[in-house]
Amino acid sequence: MAKILRINTKNKTATFETPSDEYKNLGGRALTSKIVLREVPGTCHPLSRDNKLIFAPGMLTGTPAANSGRMSVGAKSPLTGGIKESNTGGIMSQKLARLGIQAIILEDKPDDDAYSIIVITKDSVEFLPANEYLGVLNGDMMPRLWERFGKHVGVASIGPAGEQRLTSASIQFADPKGHAGRAAGRGGLGAVMGSKKIKAIVVNDTDTDRPSLHDPEAFKTANKKWGELLTGHPVSGNGLPAYGTAVLVNIINEAGALPTKNFRSGRFDHAQDISGETLSANIEKRGGIVSEGCHPGCVIKCSQCYHDKDGNFLTSGFEYETIWAFGAHCLIKDLDDIAMLDRLCDDFGLDTIETGVTMGIAMEGGLIPWGDGKAAIELLKKVGTGEPMGKIIGNGAAFTGQALGVDRIPVVKRQALPAYDPRAVKAVGVTYATSPMGADHTAGYGVCQNILHVGGTIDPLKKEFNVGISKDLQVATAAIDAAGLCLFVAFPVLDDATGLQLIVDMLNAQSGLSLTTDDVVALGISILKDEHEFNRLAGFTQKDDRLPDMFKETFPPHNTTWDFTDAELQEAKTF
């Protein structure tokens, strides 16, 4: 049975625990959120020794199930002040599962300034001095740690942003090629890791096997259909592999929902220049990889390696939301500039959404000109140097807006809004407002029904049905995050009723349990209840489930506004 690895970062001790009844059978987001709720005081400062940082593979992670290698990272967020589950790809999660580790819990913090690397193998958990790595970029950490500890070890590391405990700091994860392009990006969890003085965690699964399955044959049968389902759907089988998530640039722009110039309109004149089609064409021309998975066993392969004009590696895991944030939001139309900004975020360890939105706020505040990609690159580099302007930028949109006296700051619970305008994709707007995570598209991706006609069609411009859609998606997403499945499995699952049953079949074949689809829904609801309860203890109320007044502005081209009442929104949190 899997164990919980509890690590005290002050005493540098590690103990393996049998999970309590409440923790056992949980994985991913279900487990991180349960531990945060039970073990972290709601009112504590997120950088204090009372906060904990939890890494948990999903329930299916470690099995051969397609797209099941995701991991949840949880803590009280330094950015929002509420609970945070930040979901990442990369190769570490499956290695933890093979080591029989259900979760790592990092506790307490050192009294001195000495950083450590934690190295976990089949036989040991070691703290190694890490001061030699201080200031090292994530993109350099990965190869250095592979060289030192063996190629293909799992790595989670923080960059200069996490070391500075900036609230946009991410934790970056090595992908199968050892690039640092995978991230637990949102909510500043890199700052929590920095506060505990952990520069990196290395997971070496040498001489381990996959966790055994209760019924391998039944699992194999279900997983075969599961893989076919994923590759057979037009979004997960065609659009995402061909163009990456950037396939959305033209789609969302066409829908009039691509927030442009800090959410002033829904269409960007230069959308084509930063589209998935342009991205793929550049890769074809320059070399690189059009389509690859973020973890072994992925059949969707929406990731890529993007090279510069000279054919040298520039960035990987180059996502739609990143391209939007630095692109349409900032009026930057040079995709290579945006790729460099993405690379810098990965290297410094910064959430690309928060940082891209912040860059637009810097433009709104007159710090650099709108659309000036080169100026944005120079400004972002200041995060790496640790100079004061870098501390401003690296603390995110609300912070930078305050520093510059800007009055249009698109955040909910102090977290920046992603790449879908809430006035033109209202189901996503409801998710922004009501998710326990703060503004987060992944928490309930209403773009499906509002724009993509996946799982039905709901008018994105009207209020009707969009609260209910957001609520259902939030529940489903929480369960998917608990399972360790990639969120993009939702596309086929929403369109094909057999999908959810296949997930249940795999869980049962793995564990010997007799779960039903109702149990999966109940799990999703239970996760959200835990998260809302933590936020309640932290001091959040329904008053925090609001969008800023700037969204009362009329939003072209559809000229809609944000018009939900507090009471209407609460429906999305009522189970």
Q: Taking the complex as a whole, how short is the minimal distance between the CB of residue 336 and a second copy, in angstroms?
A: 28
Q: Does 407 contact a second copy by CB under 8 A?
A: yes
- For 162, residues 6+ apart whose C-beta sits below 8 A from its C-beta are 169, 170, 171, 190, 191, 193, 194, 349
Q: Does 380 contact a second copy by CB under 8 A?
A: no
Tell me whether residue 403 or residue 467 sits nearer to a second copy (CB atom): 403
Q: Does 403 contact a second copy by CB under 8 A?
A: yes
Site string for a second copy, 515-554 (x = CB under 8 A): ------------------------xxx-xx-x-xxx----
Q: Does 387 contact a second copy by CB under 8 A?
A: yes
d(CA 237, CA 218): 24
Do β-strands 198-203 and 154-157 pair in parallel, antiparallel, or remain unpaired? antiparallel
Name residues contacting a second copy, limited to 181-200 (CB under 8 A): 191, 194-195
- Considering CB under 8 A, how many residues would be counted as binding a second copy? 40
Tell me whether residue 253 or residue 355 sits nearer to a second copy (CB atom): 355
Query: Strands, DSSP E only, in 185-222?
Result: 198-203
Tell me, what amino acid is at 391? K
d(CA 81, CA 47): 10
Query: Strands, DSSP E only, in 91-204?
Result: 101-107, 116-120, 125-129, 154-157, 171-173, 182-184, 198-203
Q: Taking the complex as a whole, how short is the minimal distance between the CB of residue 432 and a second copy, in angstroms?
A: 16
Question: Quick one: which of 11, 20, 38, 45 contacts a second copy (CB under 8 A)?
Answer: 45
Q: Does 490 contact a second copy by CB under 8 A?
A: no
Only segment of 145-153, 244-252, 405-413, 438-446 that touches a second copy (CB under 8 A): 405-413
d(CA 561, CA 426): 10
Q: Does 215 contact a second copy by CB under 8 A?
A: no
Question: Quick one: which of 36, 166, 451, 528 contacts a second copy (CB under 8 A)?
Answer: 166
Cβ neighbours, 10 Å, residue 20: 11
d(CA 472, CA 204): 38
Q: Does 44 contact a second copy by CB under 8 A?
A: yes
Here the tokens at position 339 are 């790729």
Question: Quick one: which of 218, 242, 289, 389 contacts a second copy (CB under 8 A)?
Answer: 389
Question: Quick one: which of 219, 320, 399, 488 contacts a second copy (CB under 8 A)?
Answer: 399
- For 419, residues 6+ apart whose C-beta sits below 8 A from its C-beta are 248, 252, 258, 259, 320, 321, 324, 325, 328, 329, 353, 441
Only segment of 20-28, 160-168, 470-478, 500-508 that touches a second copy (CB under 8 A): 160-168
Q: Does 271 contact a second copy by CB under 8 A?
A: no
Q: Does 395 contact a second copy by CB under 8 A?
A: yes
Tell me whether residue 121 or residue 164 sits nearer to a second copy (CB atom): 164
Site string for a second copy, 78-107 (x = CB under 8 A): x-----------------------------
Contact 564, 460 (CB under 8 A): no
| φ, ψ of residue 172 in degrees (nearest 5) | -100, 145
- For 401, residues 6+ apart whose C-beta sits below 8 A from its C-beta are 361, 364, 365, 407, 408, 409
* Cα separations in angstroms, 217 against 172, 209, 223: 36, 18, 10
Tell me whether residue 48 or residue 511 sits nearer to a second copy (CB atom): 48
Here the tokens at position 148 are 């030192």
Q: Taking the complex as a whole, how short is the minimal distance between the CB of residue 165 and a second copy, in angstroms?
A: 3
Measured CA angle at 242 (ends 239, 245), to 5 deg: 60
Q: Does 388 contact a second copy by CB under 8 A?
A: yes
Instruction: List interacting residues with a second copy (CB under 8 A).
Output: 41, 43-48, 50, 78, 164-167, 191, 194-195, 387-389, 391-392, 395, 399, 402-409, 539-541, 543-544, 546, 548-550
